[in-house]
Amino acid sequence: MAIFLKAVLALASVILIVSILLQSSNSAGLSGAIGGGAEQLFGKKKSQGYEGILSKISTVTAVLFIALSLILVAIE
C-alpha cells in the first residue's frame, strides 16, 4: 500500500512541477505594478483557456500532493 502511495506521490509531484513551470509569469516589472492593477481586477479572464487549465491542474495536484504526504507520514 505504501509503495503504491509513494508512486502516486511521485507522479503527482512531477505533474505539479511541470504544470507550474508551464504557467506564464505574473510579474511584468515596474510597468505592470503601475498599470496592471486594474487589468488584474477587471480584465483578462484567465479562468478560460490554457492558463485556466494549468491553474486547475496545479491546484488539484497540490492538494493531492499534500494529502498523500500526510497519509504517508501517518502510515509510517
For 40-61, the pLDDT digits (tens) are 555 556 567 888 899 999 999 9
pTM (two decimals): 0.71
Contact in structure between 22 and 60 (CB atoms under 8 Å): no
- Inform me whether the pLDDT recorded for 35 exceeds 60: no
The rounded radius of gyration (Å) of the Cα atoms in the chain is 17
Between the two ends of the chain, the Cα-to-Cα distance in Å is 11
